[in-house]
Structure 1
Amino acid sequence: MTWRTGPLVAFDTETTGLDVERDRIVTAALVLREPTGTGTRTSVQTWLLDPGVAVPAEATAIHGITTAHAAAHGRAPRAALEELAALLAGHQRAGVPVVAYNAAFDLTLLDVELARHGLPTLPERLGGPVRPVLDPLVLDRDSDAGRDGKRRLADLCAHYGVLTPAPLHSAETDALATLDLLDALVGAHPHLAATTLDALHDHQVGAHRRWVDELDERTRERPYVGAGADGRWPV
């Protein structure tokens, strides 16, 4: 028995942009996958928010949500964020790992959004850090560091032979793909399944820090400025 036989909850967002301090969540998804007597059961919860700001055309081109659609059909951010955070914190209290591709982005953005609306962040709700977290991006970068090429979600799905039920860049589809990607990645690197969740979480903390340090060393003239650029992971 390993953590692979237990429940996992995937988290993904689509947003107005890539700046975790400034941009807003437009859609979010939680996908719970848990074992049953005959296989697995998957339950999906999604949110569409009215972010209260314009959705740039560049973001709409990626996820398809316009400013007008979000304003007409989206929920008030404060209520939706509270619901999302309460569910995610509940899973964490129950010991369910959070699975997120580029977790530093989604989890940091969520905490910034919660604080923006006067709501407790995930660490405040939990009385400590968000853990365990499983991030296929960090795990792949560490387990197969010498491989060339990009490591976007679509790239890793192609590399590990993960088929997606719909085009990527909806929160629900990306969360489902991230769960399937994690399963394929662990199948390719069996030592990950043999590692405890606590040890695996701590390993990813160090792996992300090493990656940022090495990247900054190679690209001093253009330092990495994305989520987790200060070396902290996952939030």
Structure 2
Amino acid sequence: MDWPIALKDLIREFITLFVVIDPVGSIPVFLFASAAVPRRLHMSFALRATLVAALVLGLFLVVGQIVLEGMGLRLGAFQIAGGIVLFLFALSMIFGETKAASEIKEAEHTDLSGAVFPLAIPSIASPGAILAVVILTDNHKTGVVEQAMTAGVLVLVLGITFLLLLLASQIQRLIGQTGVSVISRVMGLILATVAVDAVLEGLEQMGILALSAAPV
């Protein structure tokens, strides 16, 4: 394994997963969902949400591609479709309501089931995050070691998410709703770049586009 290349890939995966999971954007959702929960139970509330999200994302990381190929679908096509969806998701982060605002509005008209909705799903384990974990673990290009490393990056991002949820009240007071909105929109811009790259990789994998490395 070429460790400089592997490290570069891990950093890219960390940025991708951090952006699509958007731990900062989940802070207002956590504060809303836990409003009626005693403060002494906030840690277990945040832990439950993080574990449920980890279970969902881990499931797609392990069997997502297997299910796709069992349906006769190529990963390249999924990468293109997933990249387009991620790009639209990024545009909504940049120009639309913030993630927290849209999810809280939806939850206000729904019977909340503890930390599962809207915190674990769709705030942490968002459709974008589910797409990302499938795209990042191509069974034909990455071995068990590389996929285990991707899983480790996912655990790291979820660990950071859990810590930020525990500090949600302090962070909200520090940066305010405006700060959360600004960070969410910056992450949307990064996600748009990641989405375009995913589409290009999908086109290359299907033989539609030939990408050549720039000369050093």
TM norm structure 1: 0.26
Query: Larger RCO: Structure 1 or Structure 2 (Cα < 8 Å, ≥ 6 residues apart)?
Result: 2
Structure with more of its chain in helix, by fraction: 2
Which one has a larger percent strand, Structure 1 or Structure 2? 1
